[in-house]
Structure 1
Amino acid sequence: MEYKYDEESVNALMKWAENAQLPKELQLSEAENIVNLRQYVVANINDIKAHYPDEFYNPAITRLYRLKEKMEGEGQD
């Protein structure tokens, strides 16, 4: 998936993250086990709100996209 960093896409992603039904924890990848998923989402959203459109903080956006992919992918099995 190609990630979009324009304002409209980022706002839609943050809205999704704020309203998503999240489990308490999630194994995002083999090396990433998030033990407090709500805190993870809030921290990334706070970084985006504080620093967007500074490209240095694009990893916060990317983390939310990866979370969204994982959450939506699990429902398709």
Structure 2
Amino acid sequence: MEYKFDEQSVKELMEWAQAAQLPQELELSKAERIFDVKLCVESDLSCIRAHYPDAFYNPAITRLYRIKEKLEEK
């Protein structure tokens, strides 16, 4: 998946995150485990809403893309 940071792509990603059925926990990689996925997603959404398009907060967008990728793998 290509990570896009334009306004329309970020808006679509945020809409997906708000509507997605999220598990309680998720292992993004061997070094990254999210114990409360819903809380993590809500936190990322808050950062994006408050600071987009500030590139300093792109990791929040990237994490949402990675969560989406992992959930679509299943």
**TM-score exceeds 0.5:** yes
What is the aligned partner in structure 1 of residue 21 from structure 2? 21
Stretches of structure 1 that go unaligned for 5 or more consecutive residues are none
Which string of whole-angstrom CA distances, capped at 9 and with x for unpartnered residues, describes residues 5-58 of structure 1?
Answer: 000000000010111011111111101111000000000000000000000100
Please tell me the residue identity of whatever aligns with 1:64: L
Amino-acid identity (%): 61
Q: CA RMSD in A?
A: 0.6
* Length, aligned pairs only: 74
Q: 5 Å matches for 1:1-77?
A: 1-74=1-74
User: Normalising by the residue count of structure 2, what TM-score does the alignment of the two structures yield?
Assistant: 0.96
Question: Structure 1 residue runs of 4+, over 6 Å off?
Answer: none
Shift of 1:2: 1.9
Q: Distance in 2 between matches of 1:31 and 1:65?
A: 17
Stretches of structure 2 that go unaligned for 5 or more consecutive residues are none
User: Normalising by the residue count of structure 1, what TM-score does the alignment of the two structures yield?
Assistant: 0.93
